[in-house]
Structure 1
Amino acid sequence: MSSALLHNAMVLTVDAQNTCYDSGWVTVVDGRISGCGKAADRPDESGFDEVHDLAGHLLMPGLVNAHTHAAMVLFRGRSEGHSLLTMEGWYDTIRLPELAMESGDVGPAVALSCAEMALSGTTTFCEQYFFAEEIAEAVERAGLRAVIAYGIVELGDRERGISELAAASDFVRRQRRAEGRIVPWFGPHAPYVDNSEALLQDEVAMAAELGCGLHLHMAAGPEDNEITLARYDKSASQALEEAGFFKGRVHAAHCLDLSAEDIAVFARAEAASVVQCASAGFRSGRGMICPVVDLRAAGVTVALGTDNVAANNAYDMVLEMRMAGHAASHRQGKAQPIPARELVRMATIEGAKALGLDHEIGSIEAGKSADLACFDMRGAGWSEVPEVEAALVYSGSGRDLRHSWIAGEQIVRDRELVRRPFEDIRAEYSKTYADYWTRVSQMAEVA
């Protein structure tokens, strides 16, 4: 049995009461939180294998990045001036170069992405991409927790769609047997746009059979609804509801272009959630902003995500909280309609709930996994405030991360990765990056 006492920190529990201890403590036994409280009730440190004095630090649940594509770090800076939330922008700057991608490119790319997430406070992320097996291996080596949705893109090729769904089903079964920190899902890329109606129905049936979630992009723009408006005179989300898509767990990214009727679809579903990617939305040039205030008022769970770092360029979930706050103010036409405290919840417990993991992570409560992030509050930008959430969201940065733990294992210590040096990860990635883009150039020359 292993045990640790983390004390002298400002402990932000993100429990139902948003309990915060100015000088609090958290105890961990065998990877799980065994208790937390105020200084006066701190247990004797002699009974613990490890003791961490975190004076001047904020200790909180690890952040949940609820939508990204980790291997796409290979495309960082490659789509500047293009909107990845349009079919043309995505296909020309991402999909065509992706045709040169090989399985060996994925591990080094995901390793770098995991390192960047870990070093900025993210302990869990939701992934949707191809090469799911290679992604899972890289995530396991990094020690992070992840929901990995096997990316399925049909693009009019029915046989390819069927083959990909079969491969996704095999992936789900294998990962379930592994019983690690990875939760396998299906990832239909986008409904009707590049996954046909027939394939969507097959995906719903298989997800129900296997009891896994569906993670997709939805309502990124008006073209997402073109097919269903022409065929059924209704939006894609309304058509999906009628097709039974919302009977299981559905996690939808972006959702910029939702009507009141669309919001009602999500509200009626038993396990539907939306993940806002505010930075990616702003950078896309789209005029719409995810109606987060209206979704939350309707009882829909809304999480936060970075999207890929071609659309965003950063994995900093602290920055994403800030951008989500700005987006809500702009959309609603009023100052801070979503308080900083709620933005923190969206990046922790609400993200966990969206992924079906709120019983395990997302708050500091006895019995939950010890997935923790510790931010240094002694630097520039941090000063006394009535609520620490406001300082974190609007003054802090992911680069203030000092330590992190996942299932009680320390992943970051004193701003350094514990399992593998960042320099080694970066060196391997740099070689992979050069090799990959050389291959892309050669393919373009042949074409």
Structure 2
Amino acid sequence: MASTLIYGATIMTVDSRDRILDGGWLSFEDGRITGLGEAVDCPPRGDFDAALDMAGKLLMPGLVNAHTHSAMILFRGHAEGQSLLTMDGWYNAIREPELAMVADDMAPAVALSCAEMALSGTTTFCDQYFFAEEIAEAAAQSGLRAVIAYGIVQLGDEEKGVEELAKATAFLERQRSADGRIIPWFGPHAPYVDNSEALLKAETEIALAYGSGLHLHMAAGPEDNEETMARYGLTATEALERDGFFKARVHAAHCLDLSDNDIAIFARSPAASVAHCASASLRSGKPGICPVHDLRKAGVTVSLGTDNVAANNSYDMIAEMRIAGLLATHREGVAQVISSRELVRMATIDGARALGLDHDIGSLEIGKAADLITLDLSGPGYSDCPDLAALLVYSGSGRDVRDVWVAGERLVINRQLVRQPYHEIRNRYSEAYRSFWSRVKARKAAA
């Protein structure tokens, strides 16, 4: 792969010192960062196959969307007035129409989601859904990095649970040897509510055997805890710890309804993390707010996710940083209880850490993968400011993203997708969208 030098940019490294290099430079080759530094130390441009002047741009690590369901872009706008963090809302608005889905719906839907993520600066996403094989293939074609969790919904059907476990295990086997940008996980949809105790234990054993993570929805509201309190006198988190679930890497989305003891369980589980989906939780109408400040104070890794775009409607992770900051301030009653710099870390290196990828992505450091984005700092909303992170979080937008690289491959050039034009992706999706909702309508009419 050609060697590349980026120079003249303002570089936000998100390294351990949170260094910001004004007019700095960064080089990469064979998908890896080979150097970076201050303007005064910039190497000769002629030493590289390509030299890119990025004056007026912010260069930073690609964003990590730590929880989404990319195929569910098909539901955008179809869940208005429904709380998707309740069993009834999810079942009526999502689960019933999902029964009309077919594998061919996945590629066009995931392609559009990946395009929207790339164009707003996301270079890695964590997905959980059915049709994991098709989602993995579509994600690979986009060029993004993705953790794909095979979604398992049992809903009391023991035979279905056994069947889905076998399929999920086969998915782990096949994807282990695939392109390193796609990482296979297990995705028990929700503990005890729609995955039985026996199934959860089996999922944990297989995840441990394969070194895979477990990505699930957790403590999204009282329903989760009501189920386990009635059965065992324990919260869902306590029941999962009792059943050995936290021996594996656990990545839990939402976590609106955690007790102090639940937080302590996450804190003493070194590979446990939380994906905070601030926009989705606000739109759900649920009274609970993820205790991000308490979790972070306890040493728990908290990342940020958009959730699906029926619950959020947007993949803009910069907007997600802003809303997460505002929501934490509202919950704690303390101005900027989570600083802008911490919010940037939650959307980058903490997301990488949650997925077990912080050795490779999430910050700009020599030896790490060249997963990079640039943003235009010359437009409206950007002005001289003593705090670049505050400018990004509270004035910025995903629409300011100009360029995107993953593993050194340039996927976006000046807001244009490289692998496939956006209009082609959008047109193909529109056909799939019409086909899917026609089937949903026909199914309802036949019922």
1:425 aligns with 2:438: no
Aligned equivalent of 1:445: 445
Ranges in structure 2 where 5+ consecutive residues have no aligned partner: none
Q: Deviations over 1:318-338 (max 9, x none)?
A: 000000000100000111100
Letter aligned with residue 228 of structure 1:
T
Deviates more, 1:375-384 or 1:174-183: 174-183
Which whole-Å CA distance do the structure 2 matches of 1:333 and 1:445 have between them? 50
- Say if 1:248 and 1:270, in contact at 8 Å, map to a contact too: no
Q: CA deviation at 1:353?
A: 0.2
Q: What are the superposed Cα offsets for residues 94-140 of structure 1, whole Å, 9 maximum, x if unpaired? A: 00000000000000000000000000000000000000000011011
Counterpart amino acid of residue 78 in structure 1: H
Contact 1:224 1:236 in 2 (8 A): yes
What residue is the counterpart of 2:340 in the other structure? 340
Q: How many Å separate the matches in 2 of 1:50 and 1:118? A: 22
Consecutive unaligned residues in structure 1, runs of 5 or more: none
Hey, which bits of structure 1, 4+ residues long, moved more than 6 A? Answer: none
Q: For residue 59 of structure 1, what is the amino acid of its counterpart?
A: L
TM superposition shift of 1:188: 0.1
Partner of 2:318: 318
The within-5 A match list for 1:149-188 is: 149-188=149-188
The residue number in structure 2 matching 1:286 is 286
User: Is 1:207 aligned to residue 213 of structure 2?
Assistant: no
Identity, % of aligned positions? 65
Q: Which residue of 2 aligns with 1:40?
A: 40
DSSP 3-state at the match of 2:313: coil
Instruction: Give the Cα separation in 1 of the matches to 2:85 and 2:188.
Output: 16
- Asked whether the 8 Å contact 1:172–1:184 carries over to 2, the reply is yes
What code does the residue aligned with 1:155 have?
A: L
- Give the Cα–Cα distance (whole angstroms) in 2 for the partners of residues 157 and 210 of structure 1: 25
- Aligned length in residues: 447
Letter in 2 for 1:444: K
Q: Which residue of 2 aligns with 1:261?
A: 261
**Aligned twin of 2:55:** 55
1:379 matched to which residue of 2? Answer: 379
Give, as a single letter, the amino acid of the residue that structure 2 aligns with 1:55: A
Letter in 2 for 1:278: A
CA contact (8 A) 1:12 1:21 kept: yes
Maintained 8 Å contact 1:10/1:21: yes
Alpha-carbon separation, structure 1, partners of 2:178 and 2:387: 41
Q: d(CA) in 2 for partners of 1:176 and 1:47? A: 37
Question: What amino acid is aligned across from residue 322 of structure 2 in structure 1?
Answer: R
Q: What is the match of residue 295 of structure 1? A: 295
Q: CA deviation at 1:230?
A: 1.1
Q: How far, CA to CA, are the matches of 2:402 and 2:194 in structure 1?
A: 42
| Letter aligned with residue 424 of structure 2 | D
Displacement, 1:233? 1.2
Counterpart residue type for residue 123 of structure 2: T
* Deviation sequence 1:8-65 (CA, Å, 0-9, x none): 0000000000000011010001110001101000000001111110010100000000
Matches within 5 A, 1:121-136: 121-136=121-136
- Deviation, 1:155, is 0.3
The superposition leaves residues 383-439 of structure 1 with CA deviations (integer Å, 9 ceiling, x where unpaired) of: 111111101000000000000100000000010000000000000000000011001
Aligned to 1:356: 356
Shift of 1:378: 0.5
Aligned amino acid, residue 182 of structure 2: I
Normalising by structure 1, we get a TM-score of 0.99
The whole-number CA distance in structure 2 between the counterparts of 1:387 and 1:429 is 40
State the distance in 1 between where 2:26 and 2:92 align: 49
Query: Could you say which residue in structure 2 is the equivalent of 1:189?
Result: 189
**Mapped partners of 1:387, 1:34: distance in 2:** 27
Q: Deviations over 1:262-318 (max 9, x none)?
A: 000100112000010000000000111100000000000000000000000000000
Deviation per residue, 1:349-395 (Å, 9 max, x gap)? 00000000000000000000000010001100001111111010000
- 2:301 and 2:64 map into 1 onto residues whose CA distance is 14
Q: Is the 8 A contact 1:77 1:313 kept in 2?
A: yes
Amino acid at match of 1:282: L
| Superimposed CA distance per residue, residues 178-215 of structure 1 (whole angstroms, 9 cap, x where no aligned partner) | 14310100000000110011111111111111110000
- What per-residue deviation string (whole Å, max 9, x for no partner) do you get for residues 217-266 of structure 1? 00000011112111221100001001100001000000000010100010
Residues 222 and 257 of structure 1 are in contact (CA less than 8 Å); yes or no, is this contact kept in structure 2? yes
Distance in 2 separating the partners of 1:419 and 1:231: 51
1:136-161: CA deviation from partner (whole Å, max 9, x where unpaired):
11011100000000000000101101
SS at match of 1:178: coil
Amino acid at match of 2:349: I
Q: What residue in structure 1 maps to residue 91 of structure 2?
A: 91
Alpha-carbon distance in structure 2 between the residues aligned to 1:283 and 1:89: 12
| Counterpart Cα distance in 1 of 2:126 and 2:291 | 21
Classify the secondary structure of the residue corresponding to 2:177.
Answer: helix
Deviation, structure 1 residue 2: 1.5
Task: Give the secondary structure class of the aligned counterpart of 1:338.
Answer: coil
In 2, the alpha carbon distance for the partners of 1:280 and 1:255 equals 12
What is the aligned partner in structure 2 of residue 69 from structure 1?
Answer: 69
1:12 matched to 2:12? The reply is yes
Name the SS for the 1:24 alignment partner: strand
Secondary structure at the counterpart of residue 177 of structure 1 = coil
